[in-house]
Chain A
Amino acid sequence: MSTGATPSDAGVLRLTLYVGTGSAETARARANLQVALAQLDRPVELAVVDVMEDPGRAARDGVLLTPTLVRHDRTSHGVLIGNLSNREVLDDYLRDPE
């Protein structure tokens, strides 16, 4: 999942959000994410993958539950599963550790 970004690059935050077509949770996740991202002070690259449209990708990337948010800099970040309604966890995830 890592795209080899270096720690000193505190610039672009690369995220992928895996979603399922027409799922209610997907809509909520996207909304919640937009709110959180708006409050971030850095550029963000967000990719949205619809697992129903690209199932091979989902299997390859090991994403079976949606929505799943994956951060692409350090692998140790893990992933977030769910509609991102837990704001605290989401903010924590999007923040860089000190």
Chain B
Amino acid sequence: MHKLKSGIPGFDALSAGGLPAGRVTLLRGEPGSGKTVFALQHLVAGAVDGEAGLLLSFEEREGNLRDSCTAFGWPAALFGATDSPIRILDARPHLNAALTGAFDLSGVLAAAGHAVAGGARRLVFDGLDGLLQMLGDPAAERAEFARLYGWIEAHDASCLITSRRAGANASPASRDRAQMLEFLSDCVIDLWNHAEGLATLRELRIAKYRGSGHASEHHPLLIGGDGMRIGRQAESALDYPAGTERIGSGLERLDTLLGGGVLRGTCVLLSGAPGTAKTTLACAFVAAACARGERALMISFDESPAQIVRNLRSVGIDLQPHRDSGLLRMDAQRAHHLGGEALFEHVRRQVEDHAPGLVVIDPLNALTQLEGRYHSDLVRRVLDLLKQRGITALVSSLVADADHERTPLHVSTVADTWLHLNFAVAGGERNRALTIVKSRGSAHSNQVRELVLDRSGLSLTDVYTAGGEVLMGTARLEKEREQVRAAADRHLATRMRLREVEIEQAGARAELEALNARIERLVERRRQLAEREIEADRDDARARSEIASARRGDTGAPR
């Protein structure tokens, strides 16, 4: 089957290619559900592709339709003049007309035939049910349906008919009409428009598509500044780039604990009770990113950008220069005014416009608390969107404790890094504790650190443990002072002991010297003794020799 591109982004994916060419498509919906917008946008798409079209308007003033087109920014050159590719014909029953009996739609078909002869390939019958209702007689309606059917068969044009939907309380005539319209059509599309809280939820569903496969569920429909689109377009699964680059948080000690920083493109969850400095910590990351020349986007649901900038200045972080330079975009929204799908679109558009490397969503609770059937995976979709683009996501969440059960819907499992902030109460003080609950991709300390905020910024302090207890705040300061004192005492004691040892050493050296002197004396004595012995022997020998010479002749001395 040949299909026409619908001109509605996302619809062709649902309908395996678009609307059936040369056949009839029926668009059903209550007033305000977007039927005419769909039809006009379809004609615009055709005109852009070189296909002329005609819209026969049975309910709306031509001026209103033209205004809609202008409001959506569709090229004015496509409409208006008699030779424009799109013609809008006011087919409303004449204002001053009086009904005098049965009539038929010959004129309608004549006008349509004329347009087709003139080259129009796309026809829209906008509000046809109203006109048929005017016939006032089921038999007449059936006859006109047959004529319309015959005409469509005979002409080579693709027709789009819009009509109200027959509700539960519809009259038999309305129900018959609805059935006949459906029978006439190869493709039937339903549009809805409900209020959800303060927001509007629009939906589309392909109810029938003869001869073609199609998605059969409800899909969110969005009407934005440039027209209509299907929300939730096909999102690829689990296809993320996985890098190894780490980006800094602006807190050196935190980076060290995280193995050098947070892995780029991953998701960081900052949880904690109100007032625990989640926003401040997130802004530290932002400031660090901008200082590196990176673009960042901060989406805030609670505070205005001005408020955040002012608060951050009190801890020595100035975001304004980054806003001025264009690196940082701060966007503030009231989530419940937009509704789930529109919010996703808003985030997507912000991300595409600004192309950030880091996105902060503060707090994420704003997304999880939205009413509606789509919210349960709104968070996952937003995080997926960021992950696919390799954008590092920093999301803050209001929770009382770092308990997996109480964190918003599986964000804790989706997050790659989870930092929890809470107040530690001890010694009459509340100090901020930061716990690294999870840090995928890096080994991390499982201890708690104190997060200190002061005029010069944020920092993590070393941990002091005394008797198994973590000390913070003034208790920590006291402990630090105590430690300094203890160190001083130790040094003093050591010096004293050193002195004693030196003295002993000196004493020992003196002893050694004395002993050496004694040895020398003894050595000398031995030498002397030895010498004397030798002398004595010599003397003896001389004496004997003298005696021998005096007694020469009568001693037995050998000659």
A interface with B by C-beta (< 8 Å)? 18-21, 23-26, 28-29, 32, 51-52, 55-56, 58-59, 62-69, 76-86, 89-90, 93
Contact = CB atoms under 8 A, between A and B. Distances in A.
A51 B117 CA distance: 14
Contacts, number: 116
A73 B351 CA distance: 64
Given A64-B91, A64-B107, A66-B107, A55 B113 contact: yes
Contact of B114 (A25, A59, A68, A89): A59
Given A55-B111, A55-B113, A84-B100, A62 B106 contact: no
Tell me whether chain A's interface is mostly helix, strand or loop, or mixed. mixed
B110 A58 contact: yes
A30 to B, nearest CB: 12
Contacts of A55: 110-111, 113-114, 117
Interface in B328-386: none
Most buried by B among A66, A78, A90: A66
The size class of the interface chain B forms with chain A is 20 to 34
B89 interface: yes
A79 B96 contact: yes
Nearest to B87: A59
Contact of A81 (B56, B100, B108): B100
A80 B109 CA distance: 19
Interface in B92-117: 93-111, 113-114, 117
7 contacts: A51-B111, A59-B110, A62-B94, A65-B93, A68-B103, A81-B100, A82-B102
A58 B111 contact: yes
Given A19-B106, A20-B106, A78 B100 contact: no
B93 A89 contact: no
Given A55-B113, A58-B111, A83 B106 contact: no
B98 A20 contact: no
Given A51-B106, A78-B96, A59 B111 contact: yes
B191 to A, nearest CB: 26
B90 interface: yes
Given A20-B109, A52-B113, A68-B94, 15 more contacts: A24-B104, A51-B110, A52-B106, A64-B91, A64-B93, A64-B108, A64-B111, A65-B93, A66-B104, A78-B94, A79-B98, A80-B100, A81-B97, A83-B102, A86-B99
Given A56-B114, A59-B89, A64-B91, A85 B102 contact: yes
B140 to A, nearest CB: 9
Shortest beta-carbon contacts, A-B, top 7: A20-B106, A78-B96, A55-B114, A85-B101, A82-B101, A55-B110, A64-B107
B107 A83 contact: no
B94 A89 contact: no
Contact of B101 (A21, A25, A58, A77): A25
Contacts of B100: 69, 80-86, 89-90
A69 B117 CA distance: 26
Nearest to A85: B101
